[in-house]
């Protein structure tokens, strides 16, 4: 099959993990079903079996295109809105090499975009902050158990990033289990048939506010 290598790494991986990557045409067609969301800078996306990031890369491309169109003449705004764009994208994969490849692809894509836009004025701290976001948002985990796939599993923990002023970011950590229990399912709340109120997730940790360019320094585990 033409381009087979690109979409299948090995027969063993297909058999063990169902690893067949989605082609760009299908990625685009599926994302077009939620086009408005893919073009909203702060819309949150979680890809629970992200592989090397075929969907996330296209979502980031769309979001950065919006940032560029709206803010390219103001570097400060382009920087903080592109931080917001990356901070709202999440991925999980059970294979660590895919997780690393996914993070690297997204970082390279961001770096190419940012340094091309601000050739002489780009900031190294911006790239460090983006790398840190990707390190925490694209995780090695089992999307079925919601835990890490290791001998002693740990809960998958995602960070929520909120820009609370033009430069200050609030980081709050939640277990994925807690986040999913709070999500409505197809217009219905998971707990609605039990007659309970909507479930509001509780963070397992709330960090002090910090400048978004300093998240990597301030958010030490």
Binding region for ligand SAM (CB under 6 A): 17-22, 47, 49-51, 54-55, 92-95, 98, 142-144
Residue closer to ligand SAM (CB basis): 22 or 111:
22
CB of 139 to ligand SAM, least distance (A): 10
Output 67 or 95, the one with its CB closest to ligand SAM: 95
Task: From residue 50, give the alpha-carbon distance in Å to each of 26, 123, 139, 152, 202.
Answer: 15, 29, 10, 23, 26
Between 6 and 73, CB nearer to ligand SAM:
6
In eight-state DSSP terms, residue 50 is -
**Residue whose CB is nearest to ligand SAM in the complex, by number:** 51
CB of 205 vs ligand SAM, minimal distance in Å? 24
In three-state secondary structure terms, 65 is helix
Whole-number minimum distance, CB 29 to ligand SAM, in Å?
12
Question: Rounded to 5 degrees, what are φ and ψ at 84?
Answer: -60, -40
In contact, 92 and 156? CB cutoff 8 Å? yes
Within 10 A of 159 (CB to CB), how many other CB atoms are there?
18
Which is closer to ligand SAM, CB of 104 or CB of 170?
A: 104
Do residues 212 and 80 lie in contact, with contact meaning Cβ atoms separated by under 8 Å? yes
Name the minimum Å distance from CB 78 to ligand SAM.
28
């Amino acid at each position: 099959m033409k381009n087979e290598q690109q979409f299948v790494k090995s027969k063993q991986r297909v058999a063990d993990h169902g690893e067949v990557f989605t082609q760009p045409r299908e990625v685009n067609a599926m994302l077009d079903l939620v086009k408005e969301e893919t073009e909203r800078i702060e819309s949150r996306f979680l890809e629970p079996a992200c592989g090397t990031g075929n969907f996330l890369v296209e979502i980031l491309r769309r979001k950065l295109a919006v940032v560029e169109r709206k803010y390219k003449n103001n570097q400060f705004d382009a920087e903080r809105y592109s931080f917001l764009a990356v901070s709202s994208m999440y991925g999980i994969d059970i294979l660590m090499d895919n997780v690393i490849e996914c993070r690297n692809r997204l970082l390279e894509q961001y770096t190419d975009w940012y340094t091309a836009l601000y050739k002489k004025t780009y900031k190294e701290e911006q790239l460090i902050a983006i790398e840190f976001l990707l390190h925490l948002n694209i995780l090695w985990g089992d999307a079925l158990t919601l835990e890490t796939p290791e001998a002693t599993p740990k809960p998958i923990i995602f960070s929520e990033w909120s820009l609370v002023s033009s430069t200050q970011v609030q980081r709050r950590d939640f277990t994925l289990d807690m986040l999913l229990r709070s999500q409505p399912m197809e217009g219905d709340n998971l707990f609605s048939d039990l007659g309970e109120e909507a479930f509001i997730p509780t963070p397992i940790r709330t960090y002090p506010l910090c400048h978004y360019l300093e998240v990597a320094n301030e958010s030490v585990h």
